[in-house]
Structures are given as C-alpha cells and as structure tokens.
Chain A
Amino acid sequence: MATEVMETTSTRNYLNNGHTVKSWLLTLDHKRIGLLYLFSISIFFAIGGVYASLIRLELITPEGDLMTAETYNKVFTMHGVMMIFFFLIPSIPAVMGNFLLPIMLGAKDVAFPKLNLLSWYIFILGGSLMLITMINGGIDTGWTFYPPYSSIYSNTQVTLAGVSIFITGFSSILTGLNFMVTIHTMRAPGLTWFRLPLFVWAHYATSLIQILGTPVVAITVLALALERTFQIGIFDPKLGGDPVLFQHMFWFYSHPAVYIMILPSMGVISELIANMTRKRIFGYHFVAFSSLAIAVFGFLVWGHHMFTSSQSMYAGMVFSLITYAVAIPSAIKIFNWTATIYKGSVSYDTPMIYALAFIGLFTVGGMTGLFLAALGLDVHLHDTYFVVAHFHYVMVGGAIIGYLGGIHFWWPKMTGRMYPEVWGRISAAIIFLGFNLTFFPQFVVGYLGMPRRYHAYAPEFQVLHILSSAGASILAVGFIMPVFYFAWSVKFGKKAGNNPWMASGLEWQTSSPPPTENFTYQPVVTHEPYEFEHVEEIKNAGKLENKTA
C-alpha cells in the first residue's frame, strides 16, 4: 500500500500539469476535456432536474394550480431539451469516452485533440444559446418541435432554440468522428479488434449513429428555422409543405439518438460486470456485435413514432416488425451479462449495484418498449404516461444508472481518490427506490388513460401522481448525495493506487490519476480483455516500467 501512495503522489499527472484557468480552457488533453464536459453537463443536468421538480410539484393535485397550462408546456419542454440534448447525448461519450477511450487503446490522445476541444466550445456555445432561450421564457413545443405548431403558432423562441440544437449537434458529430478515427488508427501494438474492451465497441457503435444521424437532425431543425423565419412551405400544409415529413426526418435521428444515450451505458455495464465479478464476459463477440446491430437496426425503426400520424398501415407493420427485431441484440446483452454473473465472484461495491440496477430497470424499459411497438396496443398507449414511464426506464434506469455506475468505477482513476463506499451504496439504493417509485406508477396511470403533457388531470389519478411525486423527491436526494461525497473525496478520499478494483484493462495499468501522456511507456497488449489471471502479472510489469521511466 505504501508504495502505491508513493506512486500516485510523486509522479506528475494530468491534474497537476498546470493549474491556471487557461491551462484548462485551452487544454488539448482528452482527460481534461472529459472533465470540462463533466462540469458542464452536470450544470445542465441540475437545470433539467429543477424543471422535473416543477413538473412533479404541479402534478401533485389534479387542478392546474401551481402554473398555467402555457407555463407547464414550457416547463416540460425545457426539461426534455436540457436532459436530452445537453445531458444524455453528451453524458457517457463526452465524459468517460473522452477520458478513457485513448487510455483503453494505449494511445496518447484522441486522433484530433484540437477538434476535441472545439467540440466542447461548440457545446458551450449551443448550451449558452439554450440558456438565453430559457431566460427569455423558454419554448413550449415539446422537445420534439413538431410543426406546424412550432413553425407558425408558438409564440416562444423556437428559432433560437433550433439554432442552439443545430450548433450543439456539431459537437456530437465531432466527438463521434474523433472516436471512430481514434479506434481505427490508434490502437496499441497487439490490440486487435477482438481484444478491445466492450466499452470501446459500444463507443464505436455510438459514434456510427452520431456520424450518420446527427447531420439529419441538423438539417431538419435548420429547415424548421427557415420555415419559421421565411414561411417558405417546407412543413406548413397551407403552403404546400408536409408536416409529417418533419416527423420522419426528426425521428430518423431521434430514435437512433436513444441508442446514442443507451449504447455507451451498455459499454460501461459490460466493463462493470466483468470487473466486479472477475470473469470474462460471457459471449464477448455476441456482446460486441450486438452493439453494432443495435446501431444499424436503430436506423430502421423511426416509423414507430408515427403509428398514429397518417403513416400507411403497411409501413406501420414493417416498422413494428423491425422494432421487435431490435429487441434481440438488447436481449443478447442482458442474457450474456447475467450469464457472466453466474458463478462469478461477485463484489457488491457501488458500481456493481448500479450494474445490477441497470439490468433490472433496462429490462423493464425494453420490454415495455415492445408493448409500444405493437400496432394495436400503441393506439391505446400512444402519448400517454405509459410512454413517459417507458422512456424514463430506458433513459434514467438505463443511461443515467450506467453513467453513475461508470463515474463511481472510474472515479479513482480520474482523481486518484476513492469515493466513500458506504455513501455510494446508500445513494445507489436511494436512487433505485426513488426511481421505481417515481416511474412505476406512471405505467399504471398511463395505461388507465392519463395523457402526457397535461398540467391538469382527472381526480381518480391523484394517488398515483402523489406516489410519483414522492418518488421524485427521494430520487432527487439520491442524485444530490454523490455531488457532496465526490467533492469530499477529491480532498479526503482514500488514495486509490493504480488499480483499486484489481480490474483488467489498460487504464488500470497506468497511475491514478494518469500522466498527461497517459503512459510512461508504450503499452503492448498480449491478452484478450477480461483475463483476470493476468492482472497481477500485468500490474507488476507496469510498476517495473514506471520505475525505469
């Protein structure tokens, strides 16, 4: 233990390499850029969370007594916009992907460090425009921006918000492009495609969606901004335009965007489960290829958002069928993870609690997705709280749970300090309970017929809404706790050492926090990932190299 303390304090690392504000704002170091993203998206998450609280406060009573219908429209729109475009889409790729991907590949940085920094500035520019929109009163179109409401009737700042989304999209494109090139060209000697950690495979698949999907939503919101400004007849049926065209183009991106949010989380979960059960991932190849399959199939299912908006019955049947098909690769992952846990030496540290929570919650989220993919049932469930509950099980129960699990797992690598384990477990348990209490009642209330996006409702739904709002307050406590104990741990946490989890993977061979150039030696990969017999041996070799360097 003593030697490990020496190791982390004596070496220069990426955190103490420059302390000025300038050294952060002009950094080209992928690890620092990852932290810049961590701070910025945490702020957007907090803003989105405040809006969520307002929604849940309004819905405690059946009457619309806290705010007017118009204000409520703005509140749920801003909640969705903040959470989706400014938190979930960047979350894991921009924070953990940026921090870890080059290290996992044994590279010094991503392929294009300047583009990487540029992507953060673009993100901040887009985010600032959205904050200006927010200060000017926000928008009331829903995060889906459907015309003709958004293009003609809404009196809010839709154009500015559209420009903001357009700009922010490019930060996502640049991140995807950078990752894809980095994975293709910068793998360490011996690091073949099938020796890549599954985190990398998941990010490769995510990048594919970012690259192919994001430009389409960019041109879509650009067209919307043009339509709103010039009224040229793109989406307005009065002028010969086609409002359903907007829905097609929007969902061509926004359905795959769901996988931008969930695939990286699945990559994190693969790492957590392998390392926390000390077993090779069962069916590595299947898990790797299922990521790609999700990315590809994900582009062919957008029509399931339009079962009730004039799409032909035959198109609906095809989209329904392909939507069922996309459940297969997701299920492959779930089955392989559970098979990995079977007879593993499972540790129940915080990251593993999150991984187990993910398996349970994502399964519920995914299965209810199949309800919605069924043509007949969707007519009943469309635009009800059932849909709201479904995507929150996927987005919060999947994406955010994976994000938090990953942050806990790699926190010692990022900061060199352990978070307090007891508090980690307590907050994970609170989040799990609070989450289920918030969103499970919404399945029921939705099935009973409560439509989404209404600030007032029939009195018989009140009990379920009160349960949901109570759950939301518990969930909020669970989300706030990590902010405090993570901040505490930076100064007072136990020193982590290179590899506190005895995990496999190149990132655990370098010091914590890593040096600016990631490794003091050129790593060479000789094993498949998750071969735990070699961890000890690799660790010793790594130390030896550290000393000689």
Chain B
Amino acid sequence: MAEHATHVPGLAHHFVSMEQQKEAGTIGMWIFLLTELMFFGGLFLAYAIFRYKYPDGFLQGSHLLSVPLGGLNTFILILSSLTMALGVYYSQMGDRKKLVAFLTMTLLLGLAFLVVKFFEYKEKFDHHLFPAIGFWNPAADHPPEQYHQHVRVFLWIYFAMTGLHALHMIVGAGILITLIYLARKGTFTKEYNSPVEISGLYWHFVDIVWIFLFPLLYLTGFHVSGGH
C-alpha cells in the first residue's frame, strides 16, 4: 500500500488525504466553538436570571456604560470580521500579499478594540466601580445609592462577560500574529490554507459574542427607559 502521502506539504502523517485533514480541522473548530458557546452560556444564564431579579439595578448599571465607546467597538469588530473574511478569500486565491495585508488589518482592528476597552475599564476603576471587595466604593450619586447592591451584581456580570470576551480577543490576536508570520513565509497556498479559514471561524465567533454583549449590557437603558 504505497500511498506515501508524506511528501505533500502540510499533510500530517495520520491523515489519508488533504480533504480528510481539512474536514477534521473544520469540524474540530466548530465543535470547539460549541464548547465556547456553552462556556459563555453560563454567564448569559446568570445575566438572564439577575436581570429578571433586578431590572432597575441593570438599568442603572447600563447607564454607567458609554454607548458611544461600545458602539465604536461594535463598529470596529464588524469591520474586522470583514477584513478577516477577505483574508480567507485571498488565502484561497493564493494571493500572499493581500492575505498578509488583510490579516494585518484584522490584527490592528482587534488591538484597537482592546485599547478602547482598556479606557472603558480604566474609567470604571477610577470611579471605584470594579465590584471586588476592598475596591468597590462608588460615589453616592453614581449610581444612586439605593441601587448600589444591584448595580454591583450588574457590574460583575459586565466585567466577567466583557473580560472573558477580551481574553478571547487577546488569544485571537496571538493567532493572527502567527498566521501573519506563516503567511509572510509563504506557508499558505491555493492548496493548503485551512488554518486561515479555521482561524477565521474563531474570529467571527468572538465577534458574534460581542454583537450579543453590546445590546445586552450597553443598551439595556434604551430598552427599559426608551433612551436617555
């Protein structure tokens, strides 16, 4: 059985063919994203339960977040999804230059998101709105005192969800840096480009999580009070 496929570049020895390897990688990533969904799901459940319990705490908490900054980040991420999709497209075309360009753009947009997020977090820390014991010490009117405890519940959910999301963005940035390095070396060709496509799935997933986080966390006020 002399099907010694080992000389095909990028094909691992335990796979029979490139198609099998690509299929395995793609299914593997989809399953991984399913686990991610369940992972975030625990926090979405906590969000649903506590929002039901403390609607006014969530309203007041939402008022503390900056809709313009959140909106800007939403725009940045949607744009980065577009550049990532174009990157995947050009990797399949075998266009190395454009692949590197779009991957770099995606990386920069991802970093821009993290920078904006950093300033949002910093503002919360400055106002002692980080809900940890010994740190939590908000001003009496920001938010109004009678809501403090329930806003605190909102804010731990905010920090847990966006923090976990930001962590995924940082991992995504690491993946992009690796991809850019490999793409510049010329690893990806028309025949072998599944790492780009599979990483693209991950990037889009992280974006989609944000698409849910933004309205749930930032726009609660718009829903409950009809805008402010």
Contacts and interface: CB of A to CB of B under 8 A. Distances in A.
Q: Do A and B come from one complex?
A: yes
A211 interface: yes
Given A177-B31, A186-B24, A231-B132, A241 B39 contact: no
Interface stretch (B84-92, B120-128, B145-153, B180-188): B145-153
25 contacts: A107-B14, A108-B13, A108-B14, A109-B14, A113-B12, A173-B35, A177-B32, A180-B27, A181-B27, A185-B23, A215-B36, A215-B39, A216-B39, A216-B41, A219-B39, A223-B42, A230-B132, A231-B132, A232-B131, A232-B132, A232-B156, A239-B152, A240-B149, A245-B45, A522-B3
Interface in A241-261: 241-242, 245, 248-249
Given A112-B24, A185-B23, A215-B36, A239 B149 contact: yes
B214 interface: no
A184 B13 contact: no
Contacts of A216: 38-39, 41-42
B54 interface: yes
A223 B14 CA distance: 39
**Closest 3 A/B residue pairs (Cβ):** A219-B42, A230-B132, A215-B39
Given A211-B31, A219-B42, 10 more contacts: A113-B12, A177-B32, A178-B28, A184-B23, A212-B35, A214-B35, A233-B156, A239-B153, A245-B45, A245-B49
A521 B2 CA distance: 10
Interface of A: 107-109, 111-113, 173, 177-178, 180-182, 184-186, 211-216, 218-220, 223, 226, 229-234, 239-242, 245, 248-249, 521-522, 549
Contacts of A215: 35-36, 38-39, 41-42
A212 B36 CA distance: 9
B160 A223 contact: yes
B152 A233 contact: yes
B133 interface: yes
Contacts of A108: 13-14
Contacts of A181: 24, 27-28, 31
A214 B37 CA distance: 12
Interface string B1-31: 1010000000011110000100110011001
Contacts of B13: 108
A111 to B, nearest CB: 4
A371 B57 CA distance: 43
B43 interface: yes
Contacts of A185: 20, 23-24, 27
Given A218-B39, A230-B131, A233-B153, A113 B14 contact: yes
Contacts of A234: 46, 156
Given A216-B42, A249-B45, A241 B35 contact: no
A229 B42 CA distance: 19
B152 A212 contact: no
B50 interface: yes
B133 A230 contact: yes
Contacts of B150: 240
Contacts of B53: 242
Contacts, number: 107
B34 interface: yes
Nearest to B12: A113
Contact of A522 (B1, B12, B27): B1
A232 B152 contact: yes
Contacts of B34: 211-212
A173 B35 CA distance: 8
B138 to A, nearest CB: 14
A462 to B, nearest CB: 44
A177 B54 CA distance: 38
B153 A241 contact: yes
A226 B45 contact: no
Contacts of B132: 229-232
Nearest to A519: B1
B107 to A, nearest CB: 25
Contacts of A107: 14
Contacts of B45: 245, 248-249
B45 to A, nearest CB: 7
Nearest to A226: B160
B160 to A, nearest CB: 7
Contacts of B3: 522
B149 A233 contact: yes
Which of B1, B31, B153 has the most CB atoms of chain A within a 10 A radius of its CB?
Answer: B31
A218 B53 CA distance: 24
A182 B28 CA distance: 9
Interface string B137-165: 00000000000011011001000100000
A234 B1 CA distance: 60
B9 to A, nearest CB: 18
A230 B42 CA distance: 19
Contacts of A242: 49-50, 53
A248 B153 CA distance: 18
B122 to A, nearest CB: 18
Contacts of A112: 24, 28
Contacts of B46: 223, 234, 245
Contacts of B131: 230, 232-233
A248 B152 CA distance: 22
A184 B1 contact: no
A186 B15 CA distance: 8
B43 A219 contact: yes
A109 B14 CA distance: 6
Contacts of B12: 113
